[in-house]
Each structure stands twice: as structure tokens, then as C-alpha cells.
């Protein structure tokens, strides 16, 4: 693959890789979805399960690493649009069917045109930040249940959701982009400081290190970190409780919290522009090529230990 193509592909979305070293079963408890079946479809990466009319699960299923690419954009947009338009829906939970991964980075292989040919979304923002902003502002409550890696787009989807709950043993969150020489594009610079304060946000964004479930809870990256065996039941119970309440009241409460806490859309536009500019710089081009040569997007060890590999490619003389 040509370096120019790699660089252009990155412009399409925010990047963060990694995988969980130990494959684990990531399906919700059977009790959570009694009587509900996910919607099937060819190459469907986001599968909706209508647990009840008021409560859906959206399960990410794109093995082996839950990589997000141009083909993912219309699928996620369809999900967000359905969330916005369903008159009965009150709560949606995002989870994963792929052991060790919640959602990771953007796909390096497709050329830039596969994404830039897509028109802006409803907000006027490019497709990825548009969908994340719309999810945040929807009157439907969004919850992520993180088991495995939530990195790059996965971290940014989590930050755009209303609540985040993580497996204490198996969740890993991170924004690694600094290690490859470019700015994140999905808005974490706007969201993280509002969640955890300036210093901790800078620690996450400028170190590119992994954040485990317990540290994520202490920093405010997630609402709670729970023992893995308790995660599914806790999230399901909370979702069912919220979904039992009046939809208009839920939407009004969320609206007023949004006024006090959500960044303006202009911040996301500026950060996307910074991303598309920075990813074309020589430093980013060098680091991306070096990571690909080491096996990025191919070798599980690189996916699992990306902070180590970004450190390696940034050593003097590399």
C-alpha cells in the first residue's frame, strides 16, 4: 500500500487501535434479550435488537477487531437516524459481539475518496462528527457497555454517549493519535476536559496510553467500572428502569443537561479540520508507515499493544 493512500485513508476518521489480549465472551446475558432477535443483514456491522419498543441494543459485530471504515458510516448513520425517528424509543445500549473489542480505529485500506465523497450530515459536519453530535443531542438516552478495547472511534462513540459503563477486568479506553503524529478527529479534546478536567484530559491525549476500567472510573472517563460478571445485568437493569419512565420527561431532562455540558458544534468542526491537516504532515506519514510495516491492522500483537509500538516508532533513528 502506498504511503499517500494510507495518509488519505486516515483523513476519513479518527484512528485508534488495540485489542484485548484475552478473548472473552462479550454477549449480554440471555435474560437481557428474552424474546428479541437482532436484525440480520449482509455485512451488517451494527445490529439492532429491539429488546422492548422503548429499549434497544445496538451490537457492534465486525470481527476480528471491530475496525470502523467507510462502509461503517452509512450503517451507523442508519442506526442514529432510526434512534432519532422512533417515537417509542427511550434508551439505546451499545455493546459488542467481538471478544476483546468494543470498537477500534478507522480502516487504513480504503482510499480517501471512499469517505470524502459522502456529503455532510444533518448538522453540516462531516459524517463521523455529525453522527456523534446527533447521538449526544438526541432525546433518547444512549449508554455504552464497554468490554474490550474502546479506542479511537470507539472512545469517541463512548464519549458522545450519555453514560459509559466498563468491565473492570476487560475494558480499555484510549486515544493514541499523538503516538502517530496527528490530532484526534472525533472530538475528544472537546469532551474529555468537560468530563475529567484539563490535566487528566491532557494526560490521556498526550500520553496515548491505555486506561483500564478502574482508572477510567476514577478519572471520570466512564460512569462506573464494574466486575465483568456484573456488567451486563447492571446495564440492562438501568436501561429497563429508564425506559419505564415518560419519554417527554426523559427528553426534557437530557435537553437541559445538554445545555450545561455539551460542546458547541464549532469545536468539533475545528478539531476535524486539525485532524485532516495534521494527518498529512511528514511526521504522521512516517509513523503511520512504520506502524503498518510492523503489522498494524494485521497482527493481533500490534492491535493489543499499540502504545508500545507507537513508542517504538518514535524512538530516535526510527
CA distance 61 to 177: 24
Looking at per-residue confidence, does 209 or 297 come out higher?
209
Q: Characterize the bridge pairing of strands 211-212 and 172-174.
A: antiparallel
Closest CA to 27 of 94, 97, 93: 97
Q: Which three cell numbers stand for residue 40?
A: 440480520
The answer to whether residue 12 scores a pLDDT higher than 90 is: no
Q: Which domains does the chain have, with CATH numbers?
A: 3-227+242-306 (3.90.226.10)
Burial 124-138 (b: 16+ CB within 10 A, else e): ebbbbbbbbbbbbeb
| Order of strands, sheet of 101-103, starting from the edge strand that comes earlier in the sequence | 101-103, 149-151, 172-174, 211-212
pLDDT digits (tens, 9 = 90+) for 40-62: 555 799 999 999 999 999 999 99
Report the pLDDT averaged over residues 210-232: 98
The answer to whether residue 253 scores a pLDDT higher than 60 is: yes
Start-to-end Cα distance in the chain: 20
Specify the DSSP class assigned to residue 161.
S
Looking at per-residue confidence, does 8 or 266 come out higher?
266
CB within 8 A of 87, min separation 6: which ones?
A: none
Q: Is the CB of residue 212 less than 8 Å from the CB of residue 52?
A: no
pTM: 0.86
| Order of strands, sheet of 224-226, starting from the edge strand that comes earlier in the sequence | 46-52, 55-60, 91-96, 141-146, 163-167, 224-226
* Cis previous bond, 237, omega within 30: no
Q: How far is CA 278 from the centre of its chain?
A: 21
Question: 318 in helix, strand or coil?
Answer: coil
Percentage of the chain lying above the pLDDT 90 cut: 65
Amino acid at each position: 500500500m502506498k504511503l499517500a493512500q494510507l495518509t488519505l485513508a486516515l483523513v476519513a476518521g479518527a484512528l485508534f487501535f488495540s485489542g484485548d489480549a484475552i478473548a472473552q465472551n462479550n454477549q449480554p446475558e440471555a435474560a437481557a434479550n428474552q424474546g428479541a432477535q437482532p436484525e440480520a443483514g449482509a455485512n451488517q456491522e451494527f445490529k439492532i435488537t429491539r429488546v422492548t419498543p422503548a429499549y434497544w441494543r445496538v451490537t457492534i459485530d465486525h470481527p476480528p477487531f471491530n475496525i470502523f471504515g467507510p462502509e461503517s458510516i452509512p450503517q451507523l448513520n442508519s442506526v442514529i437516524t432510526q434512534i432519532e425517528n422512533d417515537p417509542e424509543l427511550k434508551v439505546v445500549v451499545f455493546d459488542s459481539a467481538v471478544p476483546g473489542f468494543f470498537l477500534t480505529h478507522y480502516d487504513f485500506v480504503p482510499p480517501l475518496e471512499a469517505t470524502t465523497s459522502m456529503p455532510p450530515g444533518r448538522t453540516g459536519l462531516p459524517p463521523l462528527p455529525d453522527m456523534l453530535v446527533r447521538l449526544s443531542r438526541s432525546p433518547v438516552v444512549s449508554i455504552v457497555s464497554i468490554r474490550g478495547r474502546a479506542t479511537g472511534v470507539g472512545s469517541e462513540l463512548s464519549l458522545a454517549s450519555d453514560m459509559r459503563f466498563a468491565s473492570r477486568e476487560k475494558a480499555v479506553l484510549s486515544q493514541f493519535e499523538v503516538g502517530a503524529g496527528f490530532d484526534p478527529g472525533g472530538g475528544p479534546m472537546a469532551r474529555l476536559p468537560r468530563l475529567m478536567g484539563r490535566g487528566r484530559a491532557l494526560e490521556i491525549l498526550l500520553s496515548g496510553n491505555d486506561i483500564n476500567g478502574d482508572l477510567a472510573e476514577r478519572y471520570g472517563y466512564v460512569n462506573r467500572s464494574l466486575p465483568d460478571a456484573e456488567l451486563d445485568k447492571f446495564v440492562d437493569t438501568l436501561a429497563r428502569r429508564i425506559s419505564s419512565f415518560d419519554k417527554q420527561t426523559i427528553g426534557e431532562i437530557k435537553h437541559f443537561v445538554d445545555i450545561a455540558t455539551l460542546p458547541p458544534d464549532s469545536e468539533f468542526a475545528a478539531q476535524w479540520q486539525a485532524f485532516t491537516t495534521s494527518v498529512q504532515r511528514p511526521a504522521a506519514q512516517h509513523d503511520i508507515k512504520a506502524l503498518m510495516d510492523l503489522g498494524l491492522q494485521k497482527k493481533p500483537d500490534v492491535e493489543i499493544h499499540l502504545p508500545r509500538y507507537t513508542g517504538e516508532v518514535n524512538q530516535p533513528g526510527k
